[in-house]
Amino acid sequence: MARIYMHSALTCSTNLGFHFRSSSSHLHRLIFPTSLTLPHAKTQSSWTGRRVVAMDSSGTDSAKEVHVGLDSATEEEYATQSKLLQEFMSIPTLDKAWILSSDSGSQAMVAMSQANLLANKRRKFMLSALISKDETTSNQSSVNFHWAPFPVEMTGASAFVPSPSGLKLLVIRNPENESPTKFEIWSSSQLDKEFHIPQKVHGSVYLDGWFEGISWNSDETRVAYVAEEPSPPKPTFDHLGFYKKGTSSDKDIGSWKGQGDWEDEWGEAYAGKKQPALFVIDVDSGEVEHIKGVPRSISVGQVVWSPNSKGSAQYLVFAGWLGDKRKLGLKHCYNRPCAIYAVRCPEPKDDANEALPIHNLTKSISSGFCPRFSKDGKFLLFLSAKAAVDSGAHCSTESLHKISWPSDGKLPESTNIVDVIEVVNCPDDGCFPGLYVTGLLSDPWLSDGHTLILSSYWRSCRVILSLNLISGELSRVSPNDSDFSWSVLALDGDNVVAVSSSPVSVPEIKYGKKVLDPSGKPSWHWSTIQKPIFKCSEKVASGLSSLQFKILKVPVSNVSECLTEGAKRPFEAIYVSSSKTKENGKCDPLVVVLHGGPHTVAPCSFSKQLAYLSSIGYSLLIVNYRGSLGFGEDALQSVPGKIGSQDVNDVLSAVDHAVEMGLADPSRITVLGGSHGGFLTTHLIGQAPDKFVAAAARNPVCNIASMVGITDIPDWCFFEAYGDQTHYTEAPSPEDMSLFHQISPISHISKVKTPTLFLLGTVDLRVPISNGFQYVRALKEKGADVKVLVFPNDNHSLDRPQTDYESFLNIAVWFNKYCKL
């Protein structure tokens, strides 16, 4: 029987994370004047930027819109920059990959997406390739991917999941309105089945990468998945306002629906999502069963089937998050208590109305997610963010654990949890810094059944690791001498298909062949798949070819104040620059790039947006200040209680370090950050007002005191301010509010004189737009040079295609203006 391996692309962006002087008193609120159209004016394949609205001297909107024209030079710059930016934005992204293995060979399927600016969506398509191997020499065999001549666009498809044998393909189409969810079962040549699941059964299937869980059973007759539970019926009133008893159709004439009871949601990016629940569909009949027994206080996700042992019960195993008191924001927040649960899969003999018992398999640990069964079904492996849950940090060093799975299917009252990889506090130089995974392949095992392949952050890089669960040996699969970032995509038997990139190199598909040395120790011989699937224009390729990068180790400036050994170790910054020698010996202007979180990391991987800035003449200093992932738990936990000071000083130390090394011109330094990176950006222009000639902040945290009552993660405010979670309350005291203000950028606003561009999303639940506007209006009050771009349909990430495009176009023009580039 063939096997299939699957990978879901992961992003590293935590709770407050983005994976990255003028006398004028005009405040620009939106993006472009009415005359500017992108990308090609006066054609049907264009879209128009928003109007500029003038503000009067008091900082309020004037009564009418006015046409604000651009001078010809500025208009020409927008036109020139937009053309190059579009070429970068057209580079596709790899979303998922599968390897279908059979006796006749292996086939790769790669799901990709590309920005569709006109539609403001991502266009999804599928590539496929036959894999051939020349085994003439054992250690140097060549591998070729024979790609199909053209990709196939997957219009309207929300998800596609091949079955374990690779003989069936499940396609799910989530509705954009109240229409049914569509399930399609495809064979190799045709559509075999199509089922429409109405809203009264369940809403959209979760495909968020966190609650998401779509799992075929071993005989490929049923699929378990997570979908939105139907909302409770709302009260109905007739045309006179009289309450109507019983249920009624939404289309009843002469009646109207009330709102009913308010239901809590899981915060940022989960608007309208209230109760993820567990369902099973029979792929032959289309019958859908809502798995009963899971209380509404548990939100389920990441479901997998237990091994199918003859004569024993089969279980659905899943992660569950408690939301009984309040559903705090879950997106990128690993400090939410969760556990691994099991519920027996219903059988025909069961009473359809009877709730089946639910078993908590991880009672003795505060966090358990991403369950995976071993190949032989003897144990269940899972990840844990217990360091985050127990401390309060929204993301932290992870651990890996396993429990034995009973062969008879009878689950015990308690389980013995075995630690496989523990939290690393203070790693030695060059040694494993701890686990920073956030997810595993659906089948992460080599053929021996006990070697696990995974990707994890290792300081400022992402690496591929192998873990032998018998010996406990952990080793790097990706090359030890590589400063590129590597992520495993899929497994082809004992070989690894991966993607590798750097800040100056577009991603490449790599194939790692497992070889054994004379002692029997495995290693991997890597080759590059020749035909690139991440194509870029000649202009982009030429620009990237003239760039270089290196990782700088930045000494800690205040070692005496550090409480732990790990916090005293140097942190890192990635420096990207032109490889060409300047005739005048001057450095290019520098953009200091600050990631959010603070507990995330900016790895040495390709970013279209940052590569674009590099290509137009900027050097980059991407700072992984203490508190970032990948450096051990001591360094990560050193910043809570010191935000606004330690992290700010780390950034200033990195900038000074670059200047001292002759890598930056101190008169042409700009700063760019989002979320907590925006918090640092607005802090820096207040605490070091003469350091930066221009700044750009994306959905920044500017005033924690005004944020705490309206954000979806108020616990973040308390934890990062105090350094522990014991102070958290829904009713902050005057002392709390005073501290929040003291550590916020707004407390330094009187000193700000750096021209600053703000990019704000109207539907941001994490750092609501009022937080940025308060800071902007305070700057306006003191006559600072400010520009604001408002995106009415964007949340915290600001990642919709048009928003992403317009944001970095304006960032480039803004920085060019003040760097005189």
Q: What is the pLDDT of residue 134?
A: 75
Q: What is the pLDDT of residue 354?
A: 73
Taking the C-alpha atoms of residue 274 and residue 119, their distance in angstroms, rounded to an integer, is: 28
Buried b or exposed e, range 393-420, using 16+ CB within 10 angstroms: bbbbbbbbbbbebeeebebeeebebeeb
Contact 665, 655 (CB under 8 A): no
Helix (H) or strand (E) holding 258: none
Q: Which amino acid is located at 8 in the chain? A: S
Q: Residue for token digits 């990128």?
A: 332
Residue labelled with tokens 């497992």:
514
Taking the CA atoms of 714, 724, 432 and 553 in sequence, report the sign of the dihedral they define.
positive
* CA neighbor of 465 nearest in space, from 400, 393, 518, 404: 400
- pLDDT tens for 696-742 read 999 999 999 999 999 999 999 999 999 999 999 999 999 999 999 99
Residue 129 CA to residue 473 CA, distance in Å, equals 34
Q: Where are the beta strands (DSSP E) in 614-728?
A: 619-624, 669-674, 694-698
Query: What pLDDT score does 28 carry?
Result: 35
Question: Is the Cβ–Cβ distance between 133 and 818 less than 8 Å?
Answer: no
Q: Given this model, what pLDDT does residue 45 score? A: 55
Task: CATH number for 554-819: choose from 1.20.1050.10, 3.40.50.1820, 3.30.390.10, 3.40.50.300.
Answer: 3.40.50.1820
Neighbours of 714 (CB within 10 A): 20
Mean pLDDT of all residues in 338-352: 84
Q: What is residue 60's predicted lDDT score, i.e. its pLDDT? A: 41
DSSP 427: P
Give the distance from CA 461 to its chain's centroid: 16
Positive or negative, the CA dihedral 559, 562, 564, 567 is negative
The rounded distance, in Å, linking the Cα atoms of 245 and 238 is: 10
Backbone angles phi, psi at 278, to 5 degrees: -100, 130
pLDDT, average across residues 540-548: 94
CB atoms within 10 A of CB 312: 14
Two tokens, residue 225: 């998945």
Catalytic residue at 675? Answer: yes
Percentage of residues of the chain with pLDDT beyond 70: 89
| Residue 240 confidence (pLDDT) | 86
Q: What is the mean pLDDT of residues 391-414?
A: 92
Query: What is the C-alpha separation between 25 and 28, in angstroms, rounded?
Result: 10
Q: Which two tokens stand for residue 554?
A: 């930045």
Q: The tokens of 80 are what? A: 């020139």
- Is the pLDDT at 452 greater than 70? The verdict is yes
Over 60: is that where the pLDDT of 16 sits?
A: yes
Q: Does residue 531 or residue 141 have the better pLDDT?
A: 531
Residue 699 φ/ψ, nearest 5 degrees: 40, 60
Give me the residues paired with residue 670 across strands: 591, 694
Mean pLDDT within 19-37: 38
Which sign does the torsion angle of CA 500, 117, 124, 437 carry? positive
User: What confidence score (pLDDT) does residue 642 get?
Assistant: 96
* Residue range 189-203: mean pLDDT, rounded: 95
Q: How far apart are CA 171 and CA 126, in angstroms?
A: 13
Check whether 35 has a pLDDT greater than 70: no
Mean pLDDT of all residues in 86-95: 94
pLDDT band at 15 (very low <50, low <70, confident <90, very high): low
Name the amino acid, one letter, at 636: L
HSE of 233, CA atoms in CB hemisphere, 13 A: 12
> CB neighbours (10 Å) of residue 546?
13
Q: Which amino acid is at 598?
A: P
Handedness of CA 72, 76, 78, 79 (dihedral sign): positive
Mean pLDDT lowest among 411-415, 454-458, 635-639: 411-415
- Residue 816 main-chain phi, psi, to 5 deg: -60, -40
| Alpha-carbon dihedral sign for residues 510, 514, 517, 523 | positive
What is the mean pLDDT of the segment spanning 251-270?
87
Distance CA 222, CA 284 (A): 8
Kindly report, residue by residue over 612-671, the tens digit of the pLDDT. 999 999 999 999 999 999 999 999 999 999 999 999 999 999 999 999 999 999 999 999
User: What confidence score (pLDDT) does residue 7 get?
Assistant: 36
Q: What ranges make up the beta strands (E) of 345-450?
A: 358-360, 369-373, 379-384, 399-404, 418-421
Q: How far apart are CA 99 and CA 304, in angstroms?
A: 19
Three-state SS string over 501-539 comes to EECCEEEEEEEEEEEECCCCCEEEEEEECCCCCCCCCHH
DSSP conformational letter for 794: -
Across the strands, what pairs with 491? 496
Q: In angstroms, rounded to a whole number, what is the distance separating the alpha carbons of residues 207 and 154?
A: 16
Q: Is the pLDDT of residue 67 over 90?
A: no
Model pLDDT, residue 562: 76
- Bigger pLDDT: 747 vs 273: 747
- Domain boundaries defined on the chain: 198-232+265-423, 554-819
pLDDT of residue 254: 83
Dihedral (Cα; 56, 59, 60, 64), 10-degree rounding: 30
Burial (CB count <10 Å: 0-12, 13-18, 19+), residue 507: buried
Full DSSP string of 299-351 = EEEEEEEPP--TTS--EEEEEEEE-SS-----TT-TTS-EEEEEEEPP-TTS-
C-alpha distances in angstroms, 34 versus 26, 42, 65, 71, 266?
17, 12, 10, 13, 38
User: In which element (H, E) is residue 449 found?
Assistant: none
Per-residue pLDDT, 121: 93
What is the Cα–Cα distance from 227 to 212, expressed in whole angstroms?
A: 8
Lowest mean pLDDT among 360-369, 400-409, 546-555: 400-409
* pLDDT > 90 in the chain, percent: 72
Q: Is the pLDDT of residue 65 over 50?
A: no
Tokens of 549: 């990068």
Asked if residue 20 lies in contact with residue 399, where contact means CB atoms within 8 angstroms, the answer is no
- pLDDT at 412 > cutoff 90: no
Strand order from edge to edge, sheet including 181-186: 159-162, 169-173, 181-186, 191-197
Structure confidence at residue 250 (pLDDT)? 57
Q: CB of 264 within 8 A of CB of 212?
A: no
Which of 727, 621, 744, 454 is CA-nearest to residue 20?
621
Strand partners, 505: 502
Average the pLDDT over 144-168 and give the result: 91
**Secondary structure letter of residue 554 according to DSSP:** E
Catalytic residue among 715, 736, 764, 785: 764
DSSP, collapsed to helix, strand or coil, labels residue 569 as coil
Residues 91 and 535: beta-carbon distance below 8 Å:
yes
Band of pLDDT at residue 518, cut at 50, 70 and 90: confident
Model confidence pLDDT, tens digit, residues 114-148:
999 999 999 999 999 999 887 655 545 688 899 99
CA–CA dist 735, 712 (Å, integer): 21
pLDDT digits (tens, 9 = 90+) for 285-318: 999 999 988 999 999 999 999 998 776 788 999 9
Q: Say whether 431 sits in a helix, a strand or coil.
A: coil
Q: Which of 675, 706, 744, 797 is catalytic?
A: 675
The answer to whether the beta carbons of residues 672 and 596 sit under 8 Å apart is: no
Q: Which is nearest to 637 in space by CA: 598, 680, 601? A: 598
CA distances from 184 to 7, 171, 206 (A): 21, 5, 16
Nearest of 396, 415, 371, 403 to residue 457 by alpha carbon: 396
Cα separation, 390 vs 724, in Å, equals 10
pLDDT per residue over 760-792, tens digit each?
999 999 999 999 999 999 999 999 999 999 999
pLDDT at 17: 58
Confidence of residue 520 (pLDDT cuts 50, 70, 90): confident
Marked catalytic residue, from 82, 442, 796, 804? 796
